Structure 1
Amino acid sequence: MRAFFLFFLFITLNAAAQEGTIGGTVVDEGNKPLEGATVQLATMENPAFQKTVSADGAGSFLFSALPMGYYRLTVSFAGMQPLTLDSIYLRPERYDFLLGDLVVKPKAAAGLNEIVIYAEKPLIQSKDGNITFNVSESAASQGSNASDLLTQVPLVSKDADGKVTVRGKEPRILIDDKPVEMNAQQLQDLLESLPGNAIEKIEVMTNPPPQYANEQGGVINIVTRKGTVGMNGRLSVFAGTRGEKGTNGHFTYRKTGLSINVNGGISDNDYRGDGSSVRQNLYADSSNYFKTNNRYNNSAIRPNFRASIDYEISKKHQLNFVGQFNQNRSQNTSNTTFQNINRFEELYRLSQRTVGNRSQNGNRHLGLNYTFRSQRPGEVLRVFTSHWASNHTSDRLFFQEFYHPDYTPTGYDSTNQQINGTENTGYNVRIAYDRPLIGEKTFLSVGSFYTHTASDVRVDALYKSKADGSFVPIDLQSNFFLFYQDITNFRLSLKQVFQPGFSATAGLSEERTGVRFDLLKAGRDTANTNWTLLPFFNLNKTWGDINLSLSYRKSIRRPGVNELNPTRDYSDPYNTRGGNPGLLPSTADNFDLVIGRSKNALYTNLGFGYNRVHTVFSAIRTLLGDGTTETIWQNISGKREYEMSMWSGYTVARKLRLNVSASYVYNRYSDYDKQFRRYRDAGSFTSNLNLNYTFRQNFTTTGNVSFNRFANPQGVARSTVNTNLAFQARLLNRKLTLALNMTDPFFQLRNRNYTYGPNFILENFNNTQTRNFRLSIGYGFSKTTTKRQTATEKAVQNLIKS
């Protein structure tokens, strides 16, 4: 806590009142700096008070030593249409405005002046049912990663397996409007390696555009920071009480037709946890119990690098290149005690098992994207191509020792080893074409994509021989196979605008999914192909500040290599796990109604949904005859989902903004599944409360509280309240950023799972060390800023002399 008090002492000593500044960069529609542009600033209370400067060679300008009040800023340049920004409000809690790029357009025939009412960005915005989380306005961005920040976005949560969900469904993830083609583990590694201070905003599209209309959970678009004209960068270091530390850097360079964005870093952590479970096995004439207690320690190192280059060949043709790499090298040690207890609650079997694991995940991705914009407004052709490769290796060593009920050794023990290796490669080609057909009322959108993935999986199991101490292969538990998946999709849609604020979109996708296993060990292969028709429809109507959206879409959820993997995992000898190569995709008919209102300081949205889900696949746990259990992915007949959600925000004052969201999805299974498989109807609930308070200019605090409860066919997973509190100070003309981020400072996060089978009841408790106090320091630099200040000083001196 000493760092906490030192942090507040420092920001208090630096919280003296300052005079105001307003700055920005003047560019044309091609992002070319307009050197010599005239920038005039006047107070709205006293128009006689005026200051005028000229933009420097980078198009930058800066006004300093300004008194508090409302200002009007006007930009003019020969041959260009004047631009006016109204209502820029300097005040003690916000006395520094960097307006970014001010785009000046060619002069229109009428010669009208463009007037824009300047509105400050709140932390969270909502429009037409979609959500924008402005990460740059969050005190939690410094020192956090994308995975941390996503849990603070309304409607977004992580399920019991750590997967990102929106209203309980898995969304499509985009980075800078480009799809991320990764499996769940690769995506999790990427999000945990992407630093929060490299992100500008996170967009949640509950009503996505046609190219992603069939995604069951909508779309999450992570937009990275692009910087202003010139060279900009930021270096950050951070450390936390949970044994984490790291550093990252972010660099941008922009000039006419070229933008370069690079970020990279490395971090590590070391945390502990413990857990326990009780399983009651139910038989016709008796019952018994199986109990476990465990402790574990995890440590990991995560290096990462990402580079993006945007190049404008001409106003019609643009290219984008993306390259990224991230890695996760981890070590894990766990100690578990197993107890078998009879119906008289007497211990009759006892053992202890120690597992050591070294693993490494590496992901590499290259993307090349092309955009063509014709002279016809709204006509755009986009081509996305990407190639990726990843590898996963793990080496696990198991030592188990057996005891008598009085805890004396029996003299029997076993040592096993399991080595896993997986190589994944793939590529994706996606084409999207949009154009207006009839005036500005009918719009065509067509597209297609092809995705190919290949996995080379090898599992080697061995046991340690008592005779000579050598490790001997276990053929039954070893496996090696090749996995291929090909997805082809064709899409067509039309949008009709009947009148301003009233439109309808209808479309159809045809998708082919082909899966093939080459089971090298068994000397055979299996394959299956599925064709799926995916229609979608959306009706959108706006009345003033009220918006209504009614939509239908058919979506598909495909099993991946982890769900299809036929290899059995014996790392837990009392609960083996495995996939199912015969698993079928799950489809759903989704009906949604969203009503929203946004007016002045308040926005609120209500969502209602009904989903018919077919051939659901889920991990199902079964009790075997020897008292152990087996968890295998299986298809079940289906379910119906009834959904209700809300997300609202209120600006209490300019200093304080509140946002709240909640979602409830009730799952109802078939009578057959409930009678013979003992599946249970239950609901999943997610909630989030977020506040943002600016108690002084450049001093911000962000708070977040969430609670989640997830249901599955066999039970529920509950957790206690998760809290996050962050304080941020921007000093030295906003170049230096200090942030203190506190995770679960009051309550330690605990998870409790309940699983109900036809002949067993399982209660599982898990406690992972989540309480963390993290201090981060960041420093930004800008070559443009230096030029901007020099030019301003000269302009002020000239004004004084005149």
Structure 2
Amino acid sequence: MKLKQFITLILFTTLTHSVWAQSPKAIIKGTVVDSISKEGIYYSTISVHPITDAKKLTGTIADEKGKFSLENLEPGTYNITIDFIGYIPKVFSNYTLKPGDNNLGTILMSINTNVLDEIVITGERPIIENKIDRLVFNAERDVTSAGGNATDVLRKVPMLSVDIDGNVSMRGDQNVRILINGKPSGMMANNVGDALKTIPADQIKSVEVITSPSAKYDAEGTSGIINIITKKKDIGGVNGSISGGLGTRHNNGNANFNARKGKFSVVANVGGNYMWPQTVTNDFEQFTIGGDPVLRQFSDQKTTRSGLRGSIGIDYDLTDKDLFTTTFSVNGFEMNMDGNTNSTFFLPNNSNSSLLSNRDQKTASDGFDWSADYTRKFANPKQELTLSGQFSRSNSITDYKTIYETGGRLDEIGENKGINDEFTLQADYVQPLGSTTLEMGVKTILRDITSSSLIQEGTDGSFHISDDRSYDFNYNQDVVAGYLSYGFEFAEKYEVKAGVRMEHTKLNGDAIGGFEAFKNDYTNILPTAVISKKLGRMSSLKLSYNQRIQRPSLFYLNPFRNTADPIVQRQGNPELKPELSHNVELGYSTFKKGTVFNASVFYRRTNDVIESLNQIDSLSTPGQQISLTTFDNIGTNESFGTNLFLSFSPIRNLTLRSNISLFTYEAKGNPFNEEMSTQVDKLHFMYRAFVNGSYKISNDLIAETFVMLNSPRRTFQGTSPSMSMWTVGVKKELWDKTASIGLNITNPFWENTHFKSEVFTPDYTQTNNMTLPFRSFGLTFSYNFGKVDTKGKAKKERGIKNDDQKQGESNQGIQMGNGM
């Protein structure tokens, strides 16, 4: 062969190989959705194998919207199977993949009625699901929370922490809105900690944490929204469950009932809890700046607590496109304290005086929520019109009787009743525009808040009304809002959702005591924006900005001064202004081979921060100093921080989960005199962390442990208590997994837990040390009954979401933790 011919052959062979090597690959795309609800099927599996080699298998899983994409496939003929537990598999036989995109379109999956009728459990969701717009904690998978209440569940949720009083924080900020099944509840307006204790843990299906709510949500909650979803079955049939727990500290029971036939369905549940009587002690001390004692108070209170919550919901399909639902729920909570308080006053001449009193106090709340929703669907399943209405009433009651055995003070009987009425009307419309979505809506909330106080004074059992301390107070808060939100995708891997919400607020309050009558109108324009990018099949990066508002609720506004304790007292402030915050967050999340990792950094600036304000009152009782806690707008807080969550399985059957939040607190622009605080303009670091491990001993036996550690929470005047807890639990499933029994232990090696809070000012310091029985042992049980009918329809969430008010933290100081 001549040299020229040889070179030509080499060049031809190289060029042919290059062209073959660069031949385009095939890509499969599609969206897997439920044939009835038209919602994406998360974690559905897509299996792809060439017909020439059945053993050569590849595939992927769908994301939270049911979308999937599989790249770098050789063109050719394949068998493609889409499958998910409980559904009939969808098979594409002898499907020819061409070079480039191969779009399977929308793949409708139907429920496999034969499978659902024959088995009880069709599959298990992971305990943590990290979706594009929210993090979901599947509480029904948790072992150690069984037999407890909602506060026990929320302590396990990443980014959240719960203190001894039941106050919930999201990344260090207590300004979080709590919804139940996507709706507000009037019981949250008084005391969030008490309200959460009325919800049994066994009634909770999952908890959603939304850090970047869209414009559709009310703008309340400077840190975000928590949505507690209770258990219900959306498919047909008659079924239900009973569960509960018996323990050394508290007991509870819960029952659920679901029935659906044709177009009609009923969902009902009832739950209650009761805490055995326990003795809580408090040691309160106040010192001058030089360290000299001013007063000391020691009290021991016998405390009992009980709660009840029930609801019934009715759904009716007027037509295939017209849906109606109504829900009525009731709630009640009561805490009783009875004990002695010994107060010692240290006088300048090295003498002292004592005051011994006996206090019997009851704190209670009750109320109801009634909502009705109408939804109109259209030919496009994503197009929807919803009209909603809701009326809520919440009553808060504080009654006490204080008898002074020494000190020469008048005995006292106090009664206060607060009523919070809310009436809401709302309209929402969703219009898909090709690959984009337009959402709009209007809403009005009318609030009527009243507080009635009656104080009686006397001696030897003879009492008379104190006219200057008895009153009726009225407060009106009306909100009108509208929003517009637009979402779209571009460049395949990017998704944007931006919107704006306008809220106009009108306030009107009576004059009372030292508070003047007031009227105030203000309008807020509140933008939101989120952009996310997919990084591979199961990873994403998200950047968000939102502006949010927090109006004070009845807990903060109520001017009633609780003087049951002679030294440590509390009073609300009806003149509070709302908080306004700016929030920026950058988050990354990934899911790979059973490992979930979530990391985020955030910055939050909050103006007119509402915090508790401690001050000395020496005027109401001459010759004695009273520590008065009220609330005020204390300035601006700038906070930045990070949250890290990791879940993985180092060995088979063992799953480890850990979450740590690190964040700062810095109060600026304090309007009060310097003597109020020594902490102004100082940067403080705080943390929240937990480690959770579960081990599947066998198919029907699982063990779990949970360790939590929270640093003290900073305020502009001091600190609230730190908290640590260790729980261990084991659960055994019985009777083909229709029933279970379990054992839970909390703090097994420490009978009592100590909580310390501090207040610092340039003139005085004060501390409160509380000792609370916290160790507990409990037995839990559950039983599921009934049969499913897979002809029923799944229901989409709809209806009222009132989430615009700052909710009440629990009482600090002498009452701290008494509801635990």
TM-score by length of 2: 0.77
Cα distance change on mapping 1:578 and 1:195 into 2, 3 Å: closer
Cα distance change on mapping 1:336 and 1:443 into 2, 3 Å: same
Contact 2:443-2:481 at 8 Å conserved across structures: yes
Contact 1:212-1:218 at 8 Å conserved across structures: no
Q: Which residue of 1 aligns with 2:443?
A: 449
SS of the aligned residue for 2:196 comes to helix
Name the CA distance, whole Å, in 2 between partners of 1:102 and 1:189: 45
State the Cα distance separating 1:432 from its structure 2 match: 2.2
SS of the aligned residue for 1:383 comes to strand
Name the Cα RMSD after superposition.
3.4
Q: Which residue of 2 aligns with 1:174?
A: 179
Name the CA distance, whole Å, in 1 between partners of 2:670 and 2:397: 41
Name the CA distance, whole Å, in 2 between partners of 1:738 and 1:575: 44
Q: Deviations over 1:558-582 (max 9, x none)?
A: 1123322333332233233222222
Contact 2:203-2:254 at 8 Å conserved across structures: no
State the Cα distance separating 1:186 from its structure 2 match: 5.6
Are 1:289 and 2:294 matched, yes or no? yes
SS of the aligned residue for 2:637 comes to strand
**One-letter amino acid of the structure 1 residue matched with residue 739 of structure 2:** L
Pick from 440, 454, 458: which aligns with 1:464? 458
Q: Which residue of 1 aligns with 2:70?
A: none
Are 1:683 and 2:685 matched, yes or no? yes
Q: Which residue of 2 aligns with 1:230?
A: 237
Name the CA distance, whole Å, in 2 between partners of 1:699 and 1:307: 33
Contact 1:287-1:342 at 8 Å conserved across structures: no
Contact 2:309-2:331 at 8 Å conserved across structures: yes
Name the CA distance, whole Å, in 1 between partners of 2:106 and 2:189: 54
Are 1:717 and 2:724 matched, yes or no? no
Contact 2:187-2:366 at 8 Å conserved across structures: no
Q: Which residue of 1 aligns with 2:427?
A: 431
Are 1:744 and 2:747 matched, yes or no? yes
Q: Which residue of 2 aligns with 1:153?
A: 157
Relative CO higher for 1 or 2, CA cutoff 8 Å, sep ≥ 6?
Answer: 2
State the Cα distance separating 1:641 from its structure 2 match: 1.3
State the Cα distance separating 1:160 from its structure 2 match: 6.1
Once the two structures are overlaid, the 10-residue window that deviates more, 258-267 or 146-155, is 258-267
Cα distance change on mapping 1:683 and 1:196 into 2, 3 Å: same
Q: Which residue of 2 aligns with 1:665?
A: 663
Name the CA distance, whole Å, in 1 between partners of 2:421 and 2:694: 42
Q: Which residue of 1 aligns with 2:609?
A: 616
Cα distance change on mapping 1:335 and 1:205 into 2, 3 Å: same
Q: Which residue of 2 aligns with 1:631?
A: 629
Q: Which residue of 1 aligns with 2:212?
A: 207
State the Cα distance separating 1:474 from its structure 2 match: 1.5
TM-score by length of 1: 0.79
Paired residue total: 686
Once the two structures are overlaid, the 10-residue window that deviates more, 230-239 or 521-530, is 521-530
Pick from 730, 742, 753: which aligns with 2:733? 730
Q: Deviations over 1:730-787 (max 9, x none)?
A: 10112221121222223343211111123111121112222211112222211459xx
Are 1:780 and 2:784 matched, yes or no? yes
Name the CA distance, whole Å, in 2 between partners of 1:486 and 1:213: 14
Cα distance change on mapping 1:631 and 1:102 into 2, 3 Å: farther
Pick from 458, 470, 473: which aligns with 2:465? 473
Name the CA distance, whole Å, in 1 between partners of 2:598 and 2:253: 39
Name the CA distance, whole Å, in 2 between partners of 1:370 and 1:105: 38
State the Cα distance separating 1:521 from its structure 2 match: 8.4
State the Cα distance separating 1:522 from its structure 2 match: 9.7
Once the two structures are overlaid, the 10-residue window that deviates more, 289-298 or 156-165, is 156-165
Once the two structures are overlaid, the 10-residue window that deviates more, 218-227 or 758-767, is 218-227
Q: Deviations over 1:449-503 (max 9, x none)?
A: 211121221111111235xx41111223222111211112111122231133312
Name the CA distance, whole Å, in 1 between partners of 2:275 and 2:420: 26
Q: Which residue of 2 aligns with 1:69?
A: none
Once the two structures are overlaid, the 10-residue window that deviates more, 642-651 or 212-221, is 212-221
- What does residue range 593-604 of structure 1 map to in structure 2 within 5 Å? 593-604=586-597
Are 1:499 and 2:491 matched, yes or no? yes
**One-letter amino acid of the structure 2 residue matched with residue 151 of structure 1:** R
Q: Which residue of 1 aligns with 2:798?
A: none
State the Cα distance separating 1:313 from its structure 2 match: 2.4
State the Cα distance separating 1:436 from its structure 2 match: 2.1
**One-letter amino acid of the structure 1 residue matched with residue 663 of structure 2:** V
**One-letter amino acid of the structure 2 residue matched with residue 452 of structure 1:** L
Q: Which residue of 1 aligns with 2:566?
A: 573
- What does residue range 503-652 of structure 1 map to in structure 2 within 5 Å? 503-519=495-511, 525-544=517-536, 545-625=538-618, 627-652=625-650
Cα distance change on mapping 1:737 and 1:623 into 2, 3 Å: same
State the Cα distance separating 1:360 from its structure 2 match: 3.2
Are 1:485 and 2:477 matched, yes or no? yes
SS of the aligned residue for 1:211 comes to coil
Cα distance change on mapping 1:111 and 1:237 into 2, 3 Å: closer
Contact 1:517-1:525 at 8 Å conserved across structures: yes
Q: Which residue of 1 aligns with 2:815?
A: none
- What does residue range 63-462 of structure 1 map to in structure 2 within 5 Å? 85=83, 120-128=124-132, 130-159=134-163, 161-169=165-173, 170-185=175-190, 187-212=192-217, 214=219, 215-227=221-233, 228-242=235-249, 244-270=250-276, 271-282=278-289, 287-341=292-346, 348-402=352-406, 412=408, 414-437=410-433, 439-440=434-435, 442-462=436-456
Once the two structures are overlaid, the 10-residue window that deviates more, 190-199 or 368-377, is 190-199
Contact 1:166-1:218 at 8 Å conserved across structures: yes
Q: Which residue of 2 aligns with 1:94?
A: none
Q: Deviations over 1:405-428 (max 9, x none)?
A: xxxxxxx45421101122222212
Contact 1:28-1:104 at 8 Å conserved across structures: no
Q: Deviations over 1:163-217 (max 9, x none)?
A: 2222123322233333445544365444322232332222212233431274422
Cα distance change on mapping 1:523 and 1:121 into 2, 3 Å: closer
Contact 2:674-2:762 at 8 Å conserved across structures: no
- Gap regions ≥5 residues in structure 2: 1-33, 39-53, 55-79, 94-102, 112-121, 619-623, 790-820
Q: Deviations over 1:82-138 (max 9, x none)?
A: 98647xxxxxxxxxxxx567699999999989699x974222222337321112212
SS of the aligned residue for 2:391 comes to strand
Name the CA distance, whole Å, in 2 between partners of 1:622 and 1:186: 23
State the Cα distance separating 1:287 from its structure 2 match: 4.1
State the Cα distance separating 1:302 from its structure 2 match: 2.1
- Gap regions ≥5 residues in structure 1: 1-26, 32-46, 48-81, 87-98, 404-411, 786-802
Name the CA distance, whole Å, in 2 between partners of 1:354 and 1:500: 70
Contact 1:339-1:347 at 8 Å conserved across structures: no
Cα distance change on mapping 1:112 and 1:773 into 2, 3 Å: closer
Q: Deviations over 1:11-60 (max 9, x none)?
A: xxxxxxxxxxxxxxxx96279xxxxxxxxxxxxxxx9xxxxxxxxxxxxx
Are 1:701 and 2:708 matched, yes or no? no
Cα distance change on mapping 1:728 and 1:496 into 2, 3 Å: same
Cα distance change on mapping 1:431 and 1:105 into 2, 3 Å: farther
Name the CA distance, whole Å, in 1 between partners of 2:399 and 2:106: 71
Q: Which residue of 2 aligns with 1:58?
A: none
Name the CA distance, whole Å, in 2 between partners of 1:500 and 1:272: 61
Q: Which residue of 2 aligns with 1:95?
A: none
Q: Deviations over 1:256-314 (max 9, x none)?
A: 4333221113332123211212211238xx94332121211211332321112222223
Are 1:758 and 2:750 matched, yes or no? no
Cα distance change on mapping 1:115 and 1:269 into 2, 3 Å: closer
